[in-house]
Amino acid sequence: MRRSHIVAARRSAVLPRGGGFKSQELHELAAPVIRAALYDSGIEPERVGEVILGNALGAGGNPARIAALAAGLPEKVAGLTIDRQCCAGLDAILLGDAMIRAGLHDIVIAGGVESYSRRPLRLRTDPDGGAAQAYDQPPFTPWPDRDPLMPAAADALAQRFGISREAQEEWAIASHAKALAAQPMAEILSLEGATADSYARHLTHRLCARARPLAGSVTSATTAVAADGAAVCILVADRLAEELGMAGPAILAGRTLGDDPELPGLAPVAAIEAALAEAGLVPGDLACAEIMEAFAVQAIVCQQQAGIDPAIVNPGGGALARGHPIGASGAINAVRLVHELRRREGYGLATIAAAGGLGTALLLRT
């Protein structure tokens, strides 16, 4: 069976909405990251078969195609943009792997890009000719009573599993501390002068106590901020990687599964279990795990319910310490994992949850 290897993995810094990337269009964020990954790999642009990018907030128009052209890839590269909300960036990598396994391409660039700063305003037209109504969160289920706002869903998760506000704050404080200790990060390219995730700070219990309540035990201190950023991985078929002398972790398994839409933060657990089973592994085999921190409680529950050692989770900090560029966040986790596995060989996991009750997990091996 053909396998994919990730031979290069790069990302931009993650900057909060309205920050240093506030003027950047999607392709202006993604194209330099694509070029940097190609440079690292030594692959000529003409050899790339496809570019797949996750994006959740854009206005359509296939940003992957625009980014591919802006990056200098040949016009034959069609570009494919996918939207599975927060899972999109990681799902783009799984889709690229599937294309390579199926023999459609030998080289695929996959990841995600998002700009909260430049996202379009959303209006829903009135079929009776009245004024259009603005909205922020689109529906994720056909049932309004089972389609909670994300902070409320996070608090429901906290209540179900008995995760206190204090435990969530401890997780957030640790995430920021790890992120500060990990700077600089080799995977970040300089873009608009930004060479590091700007949001990481010395978070304290006193600052947490003053945080804005969002829903029950969930506060602004334990929620990732809206952000801008891009990340990509270059996937190469195993035989070609061997022929070209390229090294990089192999993609062992991956899975996206749906679960209870009222508790979306729980969905990655089933995906993690399915991916581990596919690879014939158990949680104790993992050397590193990059678990999404859209909310501290979501990361805690995933770590606990999947049976993952907390000591190997997000060693360079998580999204609480950098921000959450929705369609790119899963790809950022994958890029982080690739670089962490260069320091600690073995098996690695990247995982993320999405609104509507979705979870994605990716397993790599060095």
> ∠135-138-143 over CA atoms, to 5°?
120
Kindly state the tokens that stand for 240.
Answer: 């070609």
Closest CA to 98 of 3, 6, 231, 7: 3
Kindly state the tokens that stand for 71.
Answer: 């990056």
Tell me whether residue 324 is one of the annotated catalytic residues.
yes
Has residue 177 been placed in a domain? no
Task: Output the tens digit of pLDDT for each of the chain's 366 residues.
Answer: 789 999 999 999 999 999 999 999 999 999 999 999 999 999 999 999 999 999 999 988 999 999 999 999 999 999 999 999 999 999 999 999 999 999 999 999 999 999 999 999 999 999 999 999 999 889 999 999 999 999 999 999 999 999 999 999 999 999 999 999 999 999 999 999 999 999 999 999 999 999 999 999 999 999 999 999 999 999 999 999 999 899 999 999 999 999 999 999 999 999 999 999 999 999 999 999 999 999 999 999 999 999 999 999 999 999 999 999 999 999 999 999 999 999 999 999 999 999 999 999 999 999
Has residue 46 been placed in a domain? yes
Has residue 14 been placed in a domain? yes
Q: Answer whether 54's CB lies under 8 Å from 92's CB.
A: yes
Structural domain count, the chain: 1
Closest CA to 237 of 106, 362, 110, 366: 106
Distances (CA, A) of 88 to 23, 29, 122, 332: 23, 17, 20, 11
Has residue 183 been placed in a domain? no
**Residue for token pair 């966040």:** 329
- In the prediction, which pLDDT does 193 show? 96
Annotated active-site residue in 5, 105, 324, 339: 324
* Phi, psi values for residue 197, rounded to 5°: -65, 120
- In the prediction, which pLDDT does 1 show? 75
The reported pTM is: 0.97
Closest CA to 169 of 200, 198, 204, 137: 204
- In the prediction, which pLDDT does 137 show? 87
Tell me whether residue 86 is one of the annotated catalytic residues.
yes
Kindly state the tokens that stand for 56.
Answer: 């959740």
Has residue 156 been placed in a domain? no
The continuous run of DSSP H or E covering 361 comes out as strand 358-365
Residue ranges in 48-111 assigned as alpha helix (H): 63-70, 88-101
Has residue 80 been placed in a domain? yes
Has residue 12 been placed in a domain? yes
Task: Print the domain residue range for 314.
Answer: 4-120+224-365
Has residue 236 been placed in a domain? yes
Give the CATH number, domain containing residue 277.
Answer: 3.40.47.10
Annotated active-site residue in 86, 87, 208, 288: 86
CA torsion sign for 12, 14, 20, 24 is positive
